[in-house]
Amino acid sequence: MSSLHLLLAQGLLLLLLVELGWTLVSDEEWAQYKAKYDKHYRFKDGYHRDLYNKRVQAVADHNERYSQGLEGYQMGLNQYSDTDQSVLYSYRTSITPPTEEVTKGVPEPENYKHYDEITEGIDWREYGYISAVGTQGTECLSCWAFSSSGVIEAHLAKKNGKLVPLSPKHLVDCVPYPNQGCNMGWVSIAFNYVRHNGIATKASFPYQPKSDECHWDPKNSAGTIHDHVTLTEGDEKELAEVVYNIGPVAVSIDHLHDEFVQYFGGILNIPSCGSAKSDLTHSVLVVGFGSHPKWGDYWLIKNSFGTAWGESGYFKLARNANNMCGVATLPQYPIV
């Protein structure tokens, strides 16, 4: 193709994109985005730029509907806006969810309120039991370690009256197969490990987004658990009771949707989300719940994508919405 024909083709493509409402990111904007998140692409710059272009347009389209009152949440650009999370997960070894027997009867503390008696929401952050939001990294699938350490430290803080942040990196390095460090894992396997080996403080075992050899002496443990509880699959009322009466709960969700990855604030509702165990791809921590006068009930959830993502690292997910994204499919918490 001659240079003239190439220029004409590029011009026609640009006109088509403008006609379709597409916004092309300038070289300067693309360079600024990469600099902001310290991204360097030697061979696939065009591939990532194309993904970023699509996300910019998707965010703009969605937020236009949000401004018209047609959506209950906003989307935004972040460190994941030029990556395809589904491709990243397809590269990882598939880990079959462990067989979990539902615990027969949740241990009910004194003054336990059943669902019909609960008239308000709760936010365990207000009690000082929730540590700062962490950042797992865009290439390390260690969400399970963040939710596991987060829920253990919260329950220990509630029991002892003092929050001691615990180490997700310890779990990444040391929890054995079937968990695989940065290649995904399951919360219950981490619970079983901590029950026998304890867990390090975050300060003594700082996080890096990679898997290393395990170097751990149980004598240095900052805490342990006695057992864990697995709640009834799909029962959001039971989940709400436990969160309200007992404390935060680790859950897993189907998160491989642009609506989640580009979430910025509000009550997330993704009709295409799956809720089967085989759909669960991301582990997070339910720290409370509440209701919105227009958009309805929601779960308040701590993520591990850093504070620049979502609502300072948290998100609200539609509650009592047919087990949205599988939030109540595999809920678990430790007994400390």
Catalytic residues: 143, 282, 303
CA dist., res. 332 & res. 326, Å (int): 13
Phi-psi region of 322 (alpha: psi -120 to 50; beta: other; left: phi over 0): left
Contact, 169 vs 206, CB < 8 A? yes
CB-based contact 28:59 (threshold 8 Å): no
Task: Return all residues near 191 (Cβ < 8 A) that are at least 6 apart.
Answer: 148, 152, 225, 228, 332, 334
- Residues sharing a CB contact under 8 Å with residue 187, sequence separation 6 or more, in sequence order: 144, 147, 148, 151, 250, 252, 283, 330, 332
Please report, for residues 99, 269, 276, the alpha-carbon distance to residue 324 in angstroms, rounded to integers and kept in the order given: 22, 7, 11
Dihedrals phi, psi of 335, to nearest 5 degrees? -100, 120
Buried b (16+ CB within 10 A) or exposed e, 235-271: bbebbbbbbbbbbbbbbbbbbbbbbbbbbbbbbbbbe
